[in-house]
Amino acid sequence: QVQLVESGGGLVQAGGSLRLSCAASGSTFSNYAMGWFRQAPGKERAFVAVINWRSGNTYYSHSGKGRFTISRDNAKNTMYLQMNSLEPEDTAVYYCAASARYVAGSGFEHDYDYWGQGTQVTVSS
């Protein structure tokens, strides 16, 4: 059974950085796309970034491009989201997700088959 466990969230001042991790287990992830989504208070969950596990190709939402970097470590079965120049608007619960159906990647929540429990990121002004 696929399990995804996020970590690395916390409280940071505006302009600071955080690195989120998503430890994956229960499958061979070379045939998956792995993504990050976030949900701010009172808002719907939104796409942040996605990586094709096999090729390493990445794609970002407008909000994440230029400030966030998604990556993966094959040996550790772990995906990362390096977030720099954080802004209060980045405050949200961040979720990692895995898709076996759309291995090239997708920005749509319903294309993902597995989800982590989320990690809170709070950016103070």
* Low-confidence winner among 90-94, 104-108, 121-125 (lowest mean pLDDT): 104-108
Instruction: Give the C-alpha separation, 57 to 110, whole Å.
Output: 20
pLDDT of residue 31: 87
Which tokens belong to 5?
């466990």
Q: What single-letter amino acid sits at 83?
A: M
How does pLDDT run across 37-72, given as a tens digit for each residue? 999 999 999 999 999 999 999 999 998 889 999 999
What pLDDT is attached to residue 90? Answer: 97
Question: Does 102 score more than 90 pLDDT?
Answer: no
Asked if the model's pLDDT at residue 8 lies above 90, the reply is yes
Answer whether residue 114 shows pLDDT above 90.
yes
CB 48 within 8 A of CB 68: yes
Nearest Cα neighbor of 50 from 83, 6, 99 is 99
Under the banding of pLDDT at 50, 70 and 90, the label for residue 99 is very high
Dihedral of CA atoms 52, 120, 91, 46 in degrees, nearest 10, equals 40
